[in-house]
Amino acid sequence: MTDPHALLLEQALAADPRGVRELVAVLLPVIRSRATLGLRRRARYERRGRDSDQECDDLTQEVLAALFAERGRVLRNWDPTRGLSLKNYVGLVAARQVSAILRTGRRSPWPDEPAPDSQLARMTESVAAPEAEIGARELFDRILERLQEEVSPRGMMIFRALLVEERAIDAVCSDFEMTHEAAYTWRSRLLRRARELAEEIQALHTPRPATAKAEVEPVKGALR
């Protein structure tokens, strides 16, 4: 089935003003939602108030610019025959961009905030009880973000189909035009990377012995 936005994308990438305008109207809400989600999460991780609309707009514009950079190279890579709608594709690309920008500090929306680690330590001193449960949720949210950052949009769709929606392997292979072996390889690779990321993230937030009192408790069900 042809994606309803395939022709629009073609017109827009040819710099047709009307096409550009319509495509931007389609994509901007997708990008802005991802930016909002990313900023909200970051605010939660850092235990502070929500971001301003302006920060969200800035981030949205950065992602939009990245999509259309080099004459729309990222958008040209979208293939409607490979199981992803344009909006889904852009959503996943936006999630990756937003996560990378916010995590790596390539752009720092809250430059005056103290470092996250010190914030976590202070929070733990005053709010000890629910930390384990919150920590476990946060751990998986962070793993998911990192996967989105590292894995291709197609890979994330396969992740969703296999692990989130628990669809039958035959159906997934058919939708993504791949063999059973390829599907199992994807599953195995995604889980392996998720486990590595869990260890990496936990290591970053695990207390050091010398300052154990003020540190965050390891999350429930720590990796072994």
Partner 1 sequence: MTDDELIQGLREAARREERELGEIERSQRLDPDLVERSAARVENMLRAGAPRPRAAAPATRRPAALWGGLAAAAAIALGVAFGRGGSGDLPGYELALLAGGAESQRSLAQPDPSAIRARAGSVLDVVARPARRVTGAVEARAFLVHDGSAAAWDGAVEVTPEGTVRVRGRLDDRLPVEQGSWALAVVVAPVGALPRDPQALARAAEDGPGDGSLRVARAPIVAQSGP
Contacts with partner 1 by CB under 8 A lie at 12-13, 15, 17, 20-21, 24-25, 28-29, 32-34, 36-37, 40, 54, 57-58, 61, 64-66, 68-72, 107-108, 111, 136-137, 139-141, 143-144, 160, 163-164, 166, 191, 194-195, 198, 221-224
| Distance in Å, CB of 40 to partner 1, minimum | 7
For residue 8, give both structure tokens: 């629009």
Q: Which is nearer to partner 1, 160 or 189 (CB)?
A: 160
Q: Which is nearer to partner 1, 100 or 198 (CB)?
A: 198
Closest CA to 78 of 62, 68, 90: 90
| Distance in Å, CB of 70 to partner 1, minimum | 5
The residues, any chain, with a CB within 8 Å of residue 203's CB and separated by 6 or more, are none
Distance in angstroms (rounded) separating the CA atoms of residues 48 and 165: 33
| Distance in Å, CB of 210 to partner 1, minimum | 27
Q: Which is nearer to partner 1, 65 or 214 (CB)?
A: 65
| Distance in Å, CB of 211 to partner 1, minimum | 26
The conformation of residue 81, written as its DSSP 8-state character, comes to G
* 8 Å CB contact between 118 and 204: no
Closest CA to 191 of 222, 157, 217, 162: 162
Q: Which is nearer to partner 1, 4 or 221 (CB)?
A: 221
Distance in angstroms (rounded) separating the CA atoms of residues 79 and 85: 9
Distance in angstroms (rounded) separating the CA atoms of residues 219 and 154: 31
* 8 Å CB contact between 83 and 175: yes
Q: Which is nearer to partner 1, 7 or 65 (CB)?
A: 65
| Distance in Å, CB of 180 to partner 1, minimum | 19
Q: Which is nearer to partner 1, 166 or 181 (CB)?
A: 166
- Alpha carbon 90 to chain centroid distance? 12
| Distance in Å, CB of 46 to partner 1, minimum | 16
